[in-house]
C-alpha cells in the first residue's frame, strides 16, 4: 500500500483560503431576507395611481423611473443614458402644434433595460404610458404632463423625443412620465379606459414578473399586512445583496418599536415609520443597539381644507384656525424643536424658499375676533353658532399614527378655546388615501404630508385645473378644491419664465398667496427617522419624494 504524506501546511492553506471565501460571503450575504417595517399598506401598486408614500417606497424596490433626484438633491438618470441638455441639442426650443412656444426633449433608455420576464424595455412602454395618461377617463395622477406631450418621435427601440406644447424650466426631470409594460397592460387598457384603474395587472396580477424592472420583483402580496419581494433575475444593474425583502405593515406606529425590539422586523422605514417624537424616545433607550438617522427634508405636514364646505370657504374661518393653533408649542413639546413650524408649503431647506412669506403666530384673541366678524357667536357650551348651526368641523387623518392622533387632540383642545368644535374621525391609510382624500370625500380638514422634490412647482396640488372630480376621472391632487386665478397664473409662469430674477419673484409671490389664502393649514416640516440595525450599510436618506429604496442595490449587511 502506497502511503502519501501531506504536510500540515499544505492542508492548512486550502482551509484558510476556504475560510476567507466564506468570511467574505458572510459579509455580503450574511442575511438572506431583510424585513422592513412601515406604517401603511399601499392602496395600489400601479405606479401612476394614488400618490401614496407606502406605494412609492415599496415599488421603488422593483421599478426605476426614467429620471429622479438623488440623495444630493440633483437630477440624475435612472433608466436613461443621459439628461437632456440645450447645449448638445438633446433639448431644443421649437414651436408647438398650436403655435405656442414648445420644446423638444430627447431621452435614450438604458440599452440593457428589460422587464422581469425578459421583454426589453422600449419606447412602446413610454408611448403606452402617454396614451393612458392623456386619456381624461383614466384618472392618472400626473395627467398634466401627458397632456403637454403633443407627440413622441422615435429613433429605434430606445431613443425617443417628446414634443411639448409648453416650455418648461425643469425639462431635465420627467419623473411624472412612468413606464408601463406595453406587452401586458395595453390589452387591459384597450378594454376601456374608464375601468382601467380597476383592471390593471398591477392590482389583479401583481406577481407577474413582467410588471417590474428593478433589482427586485413582487413575489407575494398579503393585503393588508405584507408584500414580499425577491431578486429579479432579469435585473441588469448592480446585483442587490439580499435575496428577499419583506415589507411588513404595522399601522400602529407605537407597535413598530415593539416589532423591531422583538426581532420581527430588521429595520423601520425612515420614510414611513416612527414619527420623530417616538424616534427621540427610542434613541434614548436603544442607541447602543440600533442606528438612528435623522434626516430633515421636504416633507410638509399640513391640513388640507375642504373649500366646498361653506364654513371653511370663508377665509376668516381658515385664518382663525391657524391663529388658534399653537404650532410653536406643538413643535417644541412634541418634537423637541426638530420639526420646525411651516409657514407655507416650501421648506426653508429648499433653495426657492422665501423669507418674505407672511407668518401667523399663535393669537387666539385675533382668531376669536375674526370668527365674530364672520358671524360666528359663542353659544351653548362655548361652541360658536351661526343661523342655529354649530361651528363644527371634521378633523381626519390616518388611524393608528400615534403622533398625528396626538396633534389632533392638541388642535381639538386649542380650537375649542376659541369656540370651534373639531370632531376627530380617522380611517385606515388605505381607505383615507385611496378613497376619502383622492376622491374628495372629506368634509372638513384632512391631515397628511406632501413630499416633494427640490424646487417642485405645486401645479398638481394648487392649480385649479388639478381639482379631482368624477368627470375628469379623479385626476389631480388639488383635493381642497382651491381655485385662484392669481395662483394659476403664478404657477403657469413659474414653469416657463426661467430667468433667475423671475423665478425668485414668482416663488415669493406663490408662497405669499399660499400663506394668505390658506388652501391648507401649514403645521410643520417633518424629519425622517430611520431606525436601522447596526449591520446595515449603504442606506442614504434622501429627504425628498424619491425614497431611499431607489438605491437598494447599495444596501449591504456587514457582521
Q: Do the beta carbons of residue 165 and residue 97 sit within 8 Å?
A: yes
User: Using one digit for the tens of pLDDT, what is the confidence trace for 170-181?
Assistant: 888 776 688 999
Q: Do the beta carbons of residue 339 and residue 276 sit within 8 Å?
A: yes
Q: Is the pLDDT of residue 17 over 60?
A: no
What is the SS3 assignment for 83?
coil
Compute the average pLDDT of residues 78-103.
94
Q: Is the pLDDT of residue 450 over 50?
A: yes
Q: Give pLDDT, residue 209.
A: 98
Per-residue b or e along 412-421, where b marks 16 or more CB atoms closer than 10 Å to that residue's CB: bebbeebbbb
Which has the closest alpha carbon to 301: 320, 277, 269? 277
Q: Give pLDDT, residue 451.
A: 86
Compute the average pLDDT of residues 20-41.
69
Compute the average pLDDT of residues 455-476.
92
- Three cell numbers written together for 330: 406643538
Q: Is the pLDDT of residue 11 over 90?
A: no
Q: Give pLDDT, residue 344.
A: 96
User: Using one digit for the tens of pLDDT, what is the confidence trace for 107-136?
Assistant: 999 999 999 999 999 999 999 999 999 998
- Taking phi over 0 as left and psi of -120 to 50 as alpha, with beta for the rest, 491 belongs to alpha
Using CA atoms, how far apart are residues 393 and 396, in angstroms rounded to an integer? 10
Compute the average pLDDT of residues 470-494.
94
User: Using one digit for the tens of pLDDT, what is the confidence trace for 251-299?
Assistant: 888 899 999 999 999 999 999 998 888 898 999 999 999 999 988 899 9
Using CA atoms, how far apart are residues 120 and 124, in angstroms rounded to an integer? 10
Which has the closest alpha carbon to 51: 500, 558, 489, 456? 456
Q: Do the beta carbons of residue 129 and residue 189 sit within 8 Å?
A: no
Q: Is the pLDDT of residue 141 over 80?
A: no
Task: Tell me what the pLDDT averaged over the chain comes to.
Answer: 91
Q: Is the pLDDT of residue 5 over 50?
A: no
- Three cell numbers written together for 536: 446595515
Residue 155 backbone phi and psi in degrees, to 5: -135, 90
Q: Give pLDDT, residue 27.
A: 46
Q: Do the beta carbons of residue 80 and residue 108 sit within 8 Å?
A: yes
User: Using one digit for the tens of pLDDT, what is the confidence trace for 92-107?
Assistant: 999 999 999 999 999 9
User: Using one digit for the tens of pLDDT, what is the confidence trace for 346-386?
Assistant: 999 999 999 999 999 999 999 999 999 999 999 989 999 99
Q: At what angle do helices 364-373 and 315-323 cross, to 10 degrees?
A: 160
Using CA atoms, how far apart are residues 329 and 238, in angstroms rounded to an integer? 47
Q: Give pLDDT, residue 338.
A: 87
Report residue 155's pLDDT band, with 50, 70 and 90 as the boundaries. very high
Q: Is the pLDDT of residue 19 over 70?
A: no
Sorted by sequence, the CB contacts under 8 Å of residue 88 that are 6+ apart come out as none
Which has the closest alpha carbon to 484: 466, 464, 465? 464
- Residue 89: DSSP 8-state: T
Q: Is the pLDDT of residue 4 over 70?
A: no
Q: From the CB of residue 288, how many other CB atoms can be counted at a distance below 10 Å?
A: 6
- Residue 309: DSSP 8-state: S
% of the chain beyond a pLDDT of 70:
94
Q: Give pLDDT, residue 144.
A: 78
Q: Give pLDDT, residue 215.
A: 98
Compute the average pLDDT of residues 437-444.
96
Q: Give pLDDT, residue 175.
A: 62
Q: Count CA atoms within 13 Å of residue 339 on its CB side.
A: 30
Which has the closest alpha carbon to 452: 358, 543, 544, 359? 544
Q: Do the beta carbons of residue 331 and residue 389 sit within 8 Å?
A: no
Strands (E), 124-168: 149-155, 159-164
Sorted by sequence, the CB contacts under 8 Å of residue 157 that are 6+ apart come out as 120, 122, 123
Degrees (nearest 5) of the Cα angle 274, 278, 279?
70
Report residue 30's pLDDT band, with 50, 70 and 90 as the boundaries. low
Sorted by sequence, the CB contacts under 8 Å of residue 339 that are 6+ apart come out as 276, 301, 331, 524, 525, 526, 527
- Mind listing the domains of the chain with CATH numbers? 31-45+189-295+528-557 (3.40.190.10), 65-183 (3.90.76.10), 297-527 (3.10.105.10)
Is the model more confident about 258 or about 15?
258
Q: Is the pLDDT of residue 475 over 60?
A: yes
Least confident of 41-50, 227-236, 440-449: 41-50
Q: Is the pLDDT of residue 414 over 50?
A: yes
Q: Do the beta carbons of residue 477 and residue 51 sit within 8 Å?
A: yes
Q: Is the pLDDT of residue 31 over 90?
A: no
Compute the average pLDDT of residues 57-78.
94
Which has the closest alpha carbon to 269: 551, 559, 546, 541? 541
- Report pTM: 0.80
Q: Is the pLDDT of residue 45 over 80?
A: yes
Q: From the CB of residue 332, how many other CB atoms can be counted at a distance below 10 Å?
A: 14
Per-residue b or e along 42-54, where b marks 16 or more CB atoms closer than 10 Å to that residue's CB: bbbbbbbbbbbbb
Q: Is the pLDDT of residue 212 over 50?
A: yes
Q: Give pLDDT, residue 14.
A: 39
Compute the average pLDDT of residues 308-317.
97
Is the model more confident about 177 or about 524?
524
Amino acid at each position: 500500500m502506497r502511503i502519501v504524506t501531506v504536510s500540515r501546511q499544505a492542508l492548512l492553506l486550502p482551509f484558510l483560503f476556504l475560510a476567507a471565501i466564506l468570511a467574505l460571503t458572510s459579509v455580503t450575504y450574511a442575511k438572506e431576507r431583510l424585513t422592513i417595517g412601515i406604517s401603511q399598506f399601499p392602496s395600489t401598486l400601479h405606479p401612476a395611481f394614488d400618490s401614496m408614500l407606502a406605494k412609492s417606497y415599496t415599488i421603488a424596490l422593483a421599478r426605476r423611473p426614467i429620471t429622479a433626484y438623488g440623495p444630493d438633491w440633483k437630477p440624475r438618470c435612472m433608466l436613461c443614458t443621459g439628461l437632456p441638455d440645450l447645449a448638445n441639442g438633446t433639448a431644443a426650443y421649437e414651436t408647438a402644434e398650436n403655435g405656442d412656444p414648445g420644446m423638444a426633449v430627447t431621452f435614450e433608455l438604458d440599452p440593457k433595460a428589460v422587464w422581469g420576464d425578459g421583454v426589453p424595455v422600449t419606447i412602446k412602454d413610454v408611448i403606452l404610458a402617454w396614451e393612458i395618461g392623456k386619456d381624461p377617463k383614466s384618472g392618472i395622477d400626473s395627467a398634466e404632463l401627458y397632456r403637454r406631450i403633443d407627440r413622441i418621435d422615435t429613433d429605434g427601440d430606445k431613443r425617443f423625443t417628446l414634443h411639448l406644447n409648453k416650455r418648461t424650466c425643469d425639462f431635465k426631470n420627467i419623473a411624472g412620465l412612468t413606464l408601463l409594460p406595453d406587452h401586458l397592460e395595453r390589452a387591459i387598457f384597450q378594454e376601456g379606459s374608464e375601468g382601467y384603474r380597476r383592471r390593471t395587472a398591477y392590482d389583479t396580477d401583481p406577481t407577474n414578473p413582467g410588471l417590474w424592472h428593478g433589482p427586485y420583483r413582487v413575489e407575494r402580496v398579503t393585503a393588508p399586512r405584507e408584500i414580499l419581494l425577491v431578486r429579479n433575475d432579469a435585473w441588469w444593474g448592480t446585483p442587490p445583496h439580499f435575496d428577499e425583502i419583506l415589507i411588513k405593515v404595522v399601522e400602529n406606529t407605537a407597535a413598530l418599536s415593539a416589532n423591531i425590539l422583538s426581532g420581527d422586523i430588521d429595520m423601520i422605514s425612515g420614510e414611513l415609520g416612527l414619527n420623530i417624537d417616538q424616534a427621540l424616545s427610542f434613541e434614548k433607550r436603544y442607541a447602543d443597539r440600533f442606528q438612528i438617522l435623522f434626516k430633515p427634508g421636504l416633507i410638509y405636514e399640513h391640513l388640507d381644507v375642504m373649500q366646498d364646505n361653506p364654513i371653511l370657504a370663508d377665509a376668516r374661518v381658515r385664518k382663525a384656525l391657524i391663529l388658534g393653533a399653537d404650532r410653536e408649542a406643538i413643535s417644541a413639546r412634541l418634537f423637541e424643536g426638530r420639526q420646525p413650524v411651516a409657514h407655507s408649503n416650501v421648506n426653508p431647506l429648499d433653495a426657492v424658499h422665501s423669507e418674505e412669506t407672511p407668518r401667523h403666530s399663535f393669537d387666539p384673541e385675533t382668531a376669536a375676533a375674526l370668527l365674530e366678524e364672520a358671524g360666528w357667536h359663542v353659544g351653548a357650551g362655548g361652541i360658536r353658532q351661526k343661523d342655529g348651526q354649530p361651528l363644527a368641523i371634521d378633523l381626519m387623518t390616518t388611524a393608528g399614527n400615534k403622533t398625528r392622533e396626538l396633534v389632533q387632540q392638541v388642535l381639538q383642545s386649542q380650537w375649542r378655546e376659541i369656540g370651534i368644535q373639531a370632531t376627530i374621525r380617522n380611517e385606515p391609510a388605505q381607505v383615507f388615501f385611496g378613497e376619502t382624500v383622492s376622491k374628495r370625500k372629506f368634509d372638513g380638514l384632512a391631515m397628511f404630508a406632501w413630499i416633494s422634490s427640490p424646487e417642485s412647482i405645486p401645479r398638481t396640488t394648487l392649480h385649479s385645473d388639478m381639482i379631482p372630480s368624477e368627470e375628469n376621472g379623479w385626476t389631480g391632487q388639488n383635493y381642497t378644491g382651491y381655485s385662484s386665478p392669481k395662483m394659476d397664473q403664478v404657477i403657469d409662469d413659474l414653469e416657463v419664465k426661467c430667468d433667475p430674477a423671475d423665478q425668485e419673484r414668482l416663488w415669493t409671490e406663490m408662497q405669499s398667496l399660499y400663506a394668505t389664502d390658506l388652501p391648507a393649514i401649514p403645521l410643520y416640516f417633518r424629519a425622517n427617522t430611520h431606525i436601522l440595525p447596526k449591520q446595515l450599510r449603504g442606506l442614504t436618506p434622501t429627504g425628498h419624494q424619491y425614497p431611499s429604496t431607489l438605491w437598494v442595490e447599495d444596501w449591504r449587511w456587514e457582521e
